[in-house]
Amino acid sequence: MAEKKTFEANVTAVTQYRAEVSARGVKNIINGVRKDSVTGKTFRTLSPIDNTIICEVAESTTEDIDAACQAAWNAFPAWAALDGKTRRNILYRYADLIEENAEKISLLESLDTGQPIRFMAKAALRGAANFRFFADRAEEAQNGLSLPTNDHLNYTIRQPIGPIGVITPWNTPFMLSTWKIAPALAAGCTVVHKPAELSPVTAQILTELGLEAGLPAGVLNLVNGYGETVGKALTEHVHIKAIAFVGESSTGSLIMQQGAPTLKRVHFELGGKNPVIVFADADLDRALDAAIFMKYSLNGERCTSSSRLLVEKPVYEEFTTRLAERVTQIKVGNPLDPETEVGPLIDTGHLSKVQRYVDLAVEEGATKTSGGGRPDGCETGNYINPTFVKDADPTMRIAQEEIFGPYLTAMSFETDAEALEIANSVNYGLAAYIWTKDVTRAVNMAHKVEAGMVWINSQNVRHLPAPFGGVKQSGIGRDGGDYSFDFYMETKNIAIAMGDHSISKLGAE
């Protein structure tokens, strides 16, 4: 596995993969054919490590989206009609191929996103696990309920809704795309995927492996380009029945408007400003490890990151002092180095945004213990020192807005009610983390905190059948297990008369 290799070995391997990608470029894949955009225009994807060009990427237009949606529309009836076992076998083969290519996928993902290889190696494998998980359910996904009455047998079945538009963000693109595409294909839907323009490299591999695994032409299509043009066209297309979107809350709002004329079903996984609430009676060592992991892993570019630290007053100074020390020891560096814990941010624009929040912390009157500026030894690329800010007021912008970088904002609280008020004071509601040994308190907090997912005495440990999603401006709908099939499928009720029940005889009485 890539994570066990040395930095030098990773650099050697990625040089070869990069040369391949640079020569081939990233193109569209429509109806099983890899091709340039209709206009032949391209844009460039850069590596956050040093902002050098990785390759040219097809810059598509509405015409390319039209062709992809038509292909997905044409392929839908046969794919939907295929028996679940055949779909399952293809998706299993797909998972095998992802595993066989995991090293290449994870190294290119690190190169394209700046995410440390120590996390990306696992993310590629999780992509394969997603396919196996949903493949196993492909046969049963159509099963519904039996709802008998005395005179009718009502039963429900689920049928795939139709072609799906999948729109994904740049932070961990490969894994996130499989989390949408795997259940959609298992359900019997066809897909048009529009990956983020800032990290499009692994989406091409994902689509190509699907074809190699035996997906019929048109079942999975890839269209590259900008959100405001091709993303928008996808959400407006009449052949697309639903949009599975992961990205910013403001983009979700636009997509809802764009999809309104064609009454799109939407599933949104959006931003977060997730609290980690640490009570004085908690196992503070474990809480410390978890709070640091959940904020500084994946460069802090993680929707479920615990970006607000709420600590009970009696242990606030001790806890934040220990945390501040640890943050200065986080290893920042080249993401291809297996020792690296925080890599470069996705692009210079995002780097400036995070740096602005570092400056804002001081302006707003909070205490910056570390962070901001360029780390030693990282002369090129989009690197920033991991940031820890304490003594914040819950109303400050640094305590309210999603920063999406290696940046943690801490504040204290005195009572359970105050902790809850602070936790619920933001527009977001994706995840919450609660640390206490008092079960009654933990359960009460968990029920009252405004979040789609709560972890008690734990970091984000995922269980694929469990529902994933947020409340408030963090999202609409749930993924995971059967929840995914509820989105990608329509439920149909069928009522059969069991005998001669009464029918009003209008016009005959």
Instruction: Determine the distance from the C-alpha atom of residue 430 to the mean position of all C-alpha atoms in its chain, rounded to a whole number.
Output: 12
Site for ligand NAD in 353-412 (CB under 6 A): 402, 404
Exactly one of 56, 269, 301, 402 is catalytic; name it: 269
- Choose which of 290, 291, 303, 422 interacts with ligand NAD (CB under 6 A): 303
End-to-end CA, the chain: 79
With binding defined as CB under 6 A, does residue 464 bind ligand NAD? no
Helix (H, G, I), strand (E, B) or coil at 54: strand
Chain CA centroid to CA 470, Å: 12
Whether 223 contacts 194, CB under 8 Å: yes
Tell the smallest beta-carbon distance from residue 67 to ligand NAD (Å): 18
Rg of the chain over Cα atoms, rounded to whole angstroms, equals 24
Beta carbons of 266 and 476 less than 8 angstroms apart: yes
Instruction: Scan residues 17-36 and list those touching ligand NAD (CB under 6 A).
Output: none
One-letter identity of residue 401: E
Q: Does 69 participate in catalysis according to the annotation?
A: no
Asked if 460 and 431 touch (Cβ cutoff 8 Å), the reply is: yes
Footprint on residues 172-211 left by ligand NAD (CB under 6 A) = 176, 194, 196-197
Choosing from 96, 248, 418, 486, the residue that interacts with ligand NAD (CB under 6 A) is: 248
Q: Which of 269, 312, 347, 450 binds ligand NAD (CB under 6 A)?
A: 269
Q: Is 55 designated active site?
A: no
Nearer to ligand NAD, 226 or 293 (CB): 226
| Interface residue with ligand NAD, options 132, 137, 232, 239 (CB under 6 A) | 232
Closer CB to ligand NAD, residue 430 or residue 449?
430
CB of 402 to ligand NAD, least distance (A): 6
Examine residue 240 and tell whether it contacts ligand NAD (CB under 6 A). Answer: no
Instruction: Kindly give, in sequence order, each residue whose CB lies less than 8 Å from that of residue 8, ignoring residues fewer than 6 positions away.
Output: none
* Region from 6-14, 270-278, 455-463, 489-497 binding ligand NAD, contact rule CB under 6 A: 270-278
* Least separation in angstroms between CB 410 and ligand NAD: 20
Token pair recorded at residue 487: 């989105």
> How many CA atoms within 13 Å lie on the side-chain side of 206?
32
Ranked by CB distance to ligand NAD, the top (closest) residue is 227
Among 167, 342, 389, 453, binds ligand NAD (CB under 6 A): 167
Kindly report the backbone phi and psi dihedral angles of residue 489, in degrees, each rounded to the nearest multiple of 5, phi listed first.
-130, 155
Q: Which is nearer to ligand NAD, 224 or 320 (CB)?
A: 224
Return the number of other C-beta atoms located less than 10 Å from residue 377's C-beta.
Answer: 9
SS (H, E, C) 217-277: CCCEEECCCCHHHHHHHHHHCCCCCEEEEECCHHHHHHHHHHHHHHCCEEEEECCCCCEEE
CB of 232 to ligand NAD, least distance (A): 4
Question: DSSP E strands: which ranges in 331-459?
Answer: 367-370, 387-390, 407-413, 428-429, 431-435, 453-456
Nearer of residues 200 and 372 to ligand NAD, judged by Cβ? 200
Q: Which residues are catalytic?
A: 269, 303
Give me the residues that bind ligand NAD (CB under 6 A), please. Answer: 167-171, 176, 194, 196-197, 226-228, 231-232, 235, 246-248, 251, 254-255, 258, 269-272, 303, 402, 404, 430, 470, 475
